[in-house]
Amino acid sequence: MSAKPLRPIQFLGDSLRLLDQTRLPFEEVYLDLFTEEAVAAAIREMRVRGAPAIGVAAAYGVALAARHLDTTDKAVFMQALKAACQRLSTARPTAVNLSWAVGRMRDVARNHPRMASAALWERLEQEALAARASSGR
Protein backbone atom coordinates (compact mmCIF):
# COMPACT_ATOMS: atom_id res chain seq x y z
CA MET A 1 0.00 0.00 0.00
CA SER A 2 1.42 3.38 -0.96
CA ALA A 3 1.08 6.56 1.08
CA LYS A 4 -1.15 9.29 -0.32
CA PRO A 5 0.85 12.14 -1.83
CA LEU A 6 0.99 15.42 0.06
CA ARG A 7 -0.69 18.36 -1.64
CA PRO A 8 1.25 21.29 -0.21
CA ILE A 9 -0.57 24.03 -2.16
CA GLN A 10 -4.18 23.97 -3.34
CA PHE A 11 -5.97 27.01 -4.73
CA LEU A 12 -9.69 26.73 -3.97
CA GLY A 13 -10.89 29.91 -5.70
CA ASP A 14 -11.77 31.91 -2.60
CA SER A 15 -8.96 30.54 -0.44
CA LEU A 16 -5.54 28.93 -0.49
CA ARG A 17 -4.92 25.67 1.33
CA LEU A 18 -1.32 25.26 2.44
CA LEU A 19 0.39 22.36 4.11
CA ASP A 20 1.77 23.75 7.38
CA GLN A 21 5.36 22.65 7.01
CA THR A 22 6.18 23.60 10.60
CA ARG A 23 4.10 20.59 11.70
CA LEU A 24 5.96 18.04 9.58
CA PRO A 25 7.01 15.25 9.88
CA PHE A 26 4.76 14.41 12.83
CA GLU A 27 1.48 15.90 11.65
CA GLU A 28 -0.15 16.67 8.32
CA VAL A 29 -2.03 19.90 9.00
CA TYR A 30 -3.44 22.23 6.37
CA LEU A 31 -4.13 25.95 6.71
CA ASP A 32 -7.03 27.56 4.86
CA LEU A 33 -6.03 31.14 4.06
CA PHE A 34 -8.55 33.66 2.74
CA THR A 35 -6.51 36.87 2.48
CA GLU A 36 -3.14 37.99 1.24
CA GLU A 37 -2.36 39.04 4.82
CA ALA A 38 -2.79 35.42 5.94
CA VAL A 39 -0.64 34.20 3.05
CA ALA A 40 2.05 36.75 3.93
CA ALA A 41 1.95 35.58 7.56
CA ALA A 42 2.32 31.94 6.49
CA ILE A 43 5.35 32.89 4.38
CA ARG A 44 6.86 34.99 7.17
CA GLU A 45 6.28 32.25 9.78
CA MET A 46 7.87 29.67 7.46
CA ARG A 47 4.70 27.60 7.31
CA VAL A 48 5.41 27.37 3.59
CA ARG A 49 8.99 26.53 2.68
CA GLY A 50 11.09 26.11 -0.41
CA ALA A 51 11.69 28.77 -3.01
CA PRO A 52 9.17 27.50 -5.60
CA ALA A 53 6.42 26.99 -3.02
CA ILE A 54 6.95 30.45 -1.55
CA GLY A 55 6.63 32.01 -5.00
CA VAL A 56 3.50 30.05 -5.84
CA ALA A 57 1.89 30.92 -2.50
CA ALA A 58 2.66 34.61 -3.08
CA ALA A 59 1.15 34.53 -6.59
CA TYR A 60 -2.03 33.00 -5.19
CA GLY A 61 -1.97 35.60 -2.42
CA VAL A 62 -2.11 38.37 -5.04
CA ALA A 63 -4.98 36.58 -6.79
CA LEU A 64 -6.85 36.30 -3.47
CA ALA A 65 -6.34 39.99 -2.79
CA ALA A 66 -7.78 40.86 -6.19
CA ARG A 67 -10.72 38.51 -5.72
CA HIS A 68 -11.70 40.06 -2.41
CA LEU A 69 -11.41 43.70 -3.48
CA ASP A 70 -14.98 44.98 -3.55
CA THR A 71 -14.81 47.98 -5.82
CA THR A 72 -15.59 48.85 -9.40
CA ASP A 73 -13.34 51.92 -9.23
CA LYS A 74 -10.25 50.88 -11.17
CA ALA A 75 -7.94 53.37 -9.45
CA VAL A 76 -9.01 52.16 -6.00
CA PHE A 77 -8.65 48.54 -7.13
CA MET A 78 -5.12 49.11 -8.46
CA GLN A 79 -4.02 51.00 -5.35
CA ALA A 80 -5.29 48.21 -3.08
CA LEU A 81 -3.66 45.57 -5.27
CA LYS A 82 -0.37 47.48 -5.13
CA ALA A 83 -0.59 47.51 -1.32
CA ALA A 84 -1.30 43.75 -1.28
CA CYS A 85 1.75 43.12 -3.47
CA GLN A 86 3.85 45.20 -1.08
CA ARG A 87 2.62 43.21 1.95
CA LEU A 88 3.46 39.94 0.25
CA SER A 89 6.85 41.15 -1.01
CA THR A 90 7.96 42.07 2.48
CA ALA A 91 6.93 38.74 4.03
CA ARG A 92 10.39 37.33 3.31
CA PRO A 93 12.31 40.02 1.43
CA THR A 94 15.32 37.86 0.52
CA ALA A 95 13.22 35.13 -1.13
CA VAL A 96 13.96 35.44 -4.85
CA ASN A 97 10.94 33.41 -5.97
CA LEU A 98 8.70 35.56 -3.81
CA SER A 99 9.73 38.80 -5.51
CA TRP A 100 9.63 37.06 -8.92
CA ALA A 101 6.05 35.87 -8.39
CA VAL A 102 4.74 39.13 -6.97
CA GLY A 103 6.44 41.07 -9.76
CA ARG A 104 4.89 38.76 -12.33
CA MET A 105 1.44 39.36 -10.87
CA ARG A 106 2.02 43.11 -10.61
CA ASP A 107 3.06 43.19 -14.29
CA VAL A 108 -0.17 41.47 -15.33
CA ALA A 109 -2.21 44.11 -13.51
CA ARG A 110 -0.15 46.95 -15.02
CA ASN A 111 -0.40 45.49 -18.53
CA HIS A 112 -4.21 45.44 -18.43
CA PRO A 113 -5.12 49.00 -17.37
CA ARG A 114 -8.51 48.98 -19.09
CA MET A 115 -9.63 45.53 -17.93
CA ALA A 116 -12.59 45.52 -15.53
CA SER A 117 -11.75 44.51 -11.97
CA ALA A 118 -13.62 41.18 -12.13
CA ALA A 119 -11.94 40.24 -15.40
CA LEU A 120 -8.56 41.26 -14.01
CA TRP A 121 -9.10 39.01 -11.00
CA GLU A 122 -9.71 36.09 -13.37
CA ARG A 123 -6.59 37.03 -15.36
CA LEU A 124 -4.54 37.14 -12.16
CA GLU A 125 -5.83 33.71 -11.16
CA GLN A 126 -4.73 32.37 -14.55
CA GLU A 127 -1.32 33.96 -14.05
CA ALA A 128 -0.97 32.35 -10.61
CA LEU A 129 -1.76 28.98 -12.19
CA ALA A 130 0.87 29.67 -14.87
CA ALA A 131 3.42 30.65 -12.20
CA ARG A 132 2.69 27.38 -10.44
CA ALA A 133 3.16 25.40 -13.65
CA SER A 134 6.44 27.14 -14.43
CA SER A 135 7.74 26.54 -10.90
CA GLY A 136 7.22 22.78 -11.08
CA ARG A 137 4.97 22.81 -7.99
91: Cα within 13 Å, side-chain hemisphere: 33
Domain count, the chain: 1
Specify burial of residue 38 (Cβ count, 10 A radius: 0-12, 13-18, 19+): middle
- Return averaged pLDDT per consecutive 10 residues of the chain, 137 residues in all: 75 95 95 97 96 96 94 90 96 93 95 88 94 82
**Which domain, by its residues, includes 97?**
9-135
pTM: 0.92
**Considering the domain boundaries, does residue 16 fall inside one?**
yes
Q: What is the CATH number of the domain that holds 111?
A: 1.20.120.420
Other C-beta atoms closer than 10 Å to the C-beta of 72 total 10
**Considering the domain boundaries, does residue 4 fall inside one?**
no
Cite the DSSP H helix spans in the chain.
36-44, 51-68, 74-89, 96-110, 117-135
